[in-house]
Amino acid sequence: MIALSLSEIARAVGGELRLHGDATPETTVSGDVDTDSRAIGAGGVFVAKPGEVTDGHLFVGRAVAQGAVLALVERIVDEPVTQIVVPDVVRAIADLAREVVARVRALGALQVVGITGSNGKTTTKNMLATILREEGETVAPVGSYNNAVGAPLTMLRVTESTRYLVCEFGADASGQIARLAGLVTPDVGVVLMVGMAHAGGFGGIEATVRAKSELVSAIRPGGTAVLNADDARVAGMASIARERGLAVRWFGESESADVRAAELDVTASGTHSVVTAAGERLPLHLRVLGGHHIKNALAAATAAMALGVRFSDAIARLETVELAERWRMQVMGSDRVRIINDAYNASPDSMQAALRTLAQITGEGERMVAVLGAMSELGEHAVDEHNKIGLLAVRLRIPRIVVVGQEARALYLAAVAEGSWNDEAVFFADADAAYDYLAGELRDGDRVLVKSSNSAGLRFLGDRLGESFS
Range of the domain at 230: 107-318
Please indicate, yes or no, whether residues 60 and 126 belong to a single structural domain of this protein.
Answer: no
**Whole-number pLDDT of residue 199:** 56
**344 and 313 housed in the same domain:** no
Q: For 341-380, how does the pLDDT look when each residue is reduced to its tens digit (9 = 90+)? A: 999 888 899 999 999 999 999 999 999 999 999 998 888 8
Whether 57 and 118 map to the same domain: the answer is: no
97 inside domain: no
Q: Is 119 annotated as a binding residue?
A: yes
- CA of residue 140 relative to chain centroid, distance: 11
Percent of the chain with pLDDT over 90: 84
pLDDT of residue 204: 76
Residues in the chain, pLDDT under 50: none
Q: Quote the pLDDT of residue 329.
A: 87
Q: Are residues 151 and 297 in the same domain?
A: yes
Q: Are residues 17 and 60 in the same domain?
A: yes
Is 146 among the annotated ligand-binding positions? no
Predicted local confidence at residue 201, as pLDDT: 57
Residues 314 and 334 in one domain: no
State the CATH number of the domain containing residue 72: 3.40.1390.10
CB atoms within 10 A of CB 76: 12
Contact partners, residue 214, CB within 8 Å, separation at least 6: 174, 175, 177, 178, 181
Q: How many domains does the chain have?
A: 3
One domain for residues 276 and 134: yes
Say what the pLDDT of residue 98 is: 98
CATH number of the structural domain spanning residue 386: 3.90.190.20
- If asked whether residues 176 and 204 sit together in one domain, one would say yes
Domain holding 288: CATH number?
3.40.1190.10
The verdict on 252 and 365 lying in the same domain is no
Q: Is 101 a member of any domain?
A: no
Nearest to 250 by CA among 236, 229, 272: 229
**CA–CA separation, 177 vs 327, rounded Å?**
25
Whether residues 125 and 233 share a domain: the answer is yes
Is 67 annotated as a binding-site member?
A: no
The answer to whether the annotation marks 312 as part of a ligand binding site is no
Q: Do both 364 and 235 map to the same domain? A: no
Give which of 415, 431, 437 is closest to 463, Cα–Cα. 431
Same domain? 77 vs 127: no
Asked if residue 122 belongs to a known ligand binding site, the reply is yes
**Three-state SS at 422:** coil
The reply to whether 34 falls in a domain is yes
